[in-house]
């Protein structure tokens, strides 16, 4: 049986690679070649560390957990539409100059659109807007 830290690393890597779909805890055990007891302990440990989220799910008449990563690695798609990438003022843009990301309407509009994609019901608009202006 591999050491627990090795199992935790392998488990976390596997869960992260499942993305938003998550993975059943039983599938994780099989993937790791671990017993159900060891797999359960690893999943609980990762949850306690705040690395994954466990949601109870009825599967095949039995209760199990679906494991989801709390954070996904960034991808190039996350910034592909950023207006800064093709901006003619990019070379002169600096927070301390007149041309600044702090006052750029295109950048502000793009950031707000990202917030709406993540929160389509508009439940977090106020806190999202506050996070843009930390002063």
Q: Strands, DSSP E only, in the chain?
A: 23-24, 52-59, 62-69
Residue 86's H or E segment, with its range, is none
The whole-number pLDDT of residue 42 equals 92
Ranges for all domains in the chain classified under CATH 1.10.10.10: 4-69
94 in Cβ contact with 102 (< 8 Å)? no
Cα–Cα distance for residue pair 35/3, rounded to 1 Å: 13
How many other C-beta atoms can be found within 10 angstroms of the C-beta atom of residue 8? 19
CATH 1.10.287.3610 fits 4-69, yes or no: no
pLDDT tens-place values along the chain, 135 residues long = 445 578 899 999 999 999 889 999 999 999 889 898 988 999 999 999 999 999 999 988 989 999 999 988 777 877 888 899 899 998 889 989 888 998 999 999 998 988 776 655 544 444 444 444 444
The predicted model scores a pTM of 0.57
Cα–Cα distance for residue pair 99/88, rounded to 1 Å: 11
Residue 9's H or E segment, with its range, is helix 4-18
């Amino acid at each position: 049986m591999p050491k627990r830290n090795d199992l935790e690393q392998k488990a976390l890597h596997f869960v992260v690679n499942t993305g938003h779909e998550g993975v059943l805890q039983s599938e994780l055990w099989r993937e790791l070649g671990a017993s159900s007891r060891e797999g359960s302990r690893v999943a609980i440990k990762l949850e306690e560390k705040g690395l994954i989220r466990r949601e109870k799910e009825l599967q095949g008449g039995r209760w199990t957990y679906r494991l989801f990563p709390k954070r996904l690695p960034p991808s190039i798609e996350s910034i592909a539409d950023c207006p800064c990438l093709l901006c003619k003022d990019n070379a002169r843009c600096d927070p301390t100059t007149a041309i600044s990301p702090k006052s750029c309407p295109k950048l502000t509009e793009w950031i707000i659109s990202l917030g709406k994609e993540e929160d389509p019901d508009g439940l977090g608009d106020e806190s999202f807007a506050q996070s843009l202006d930390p002063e």
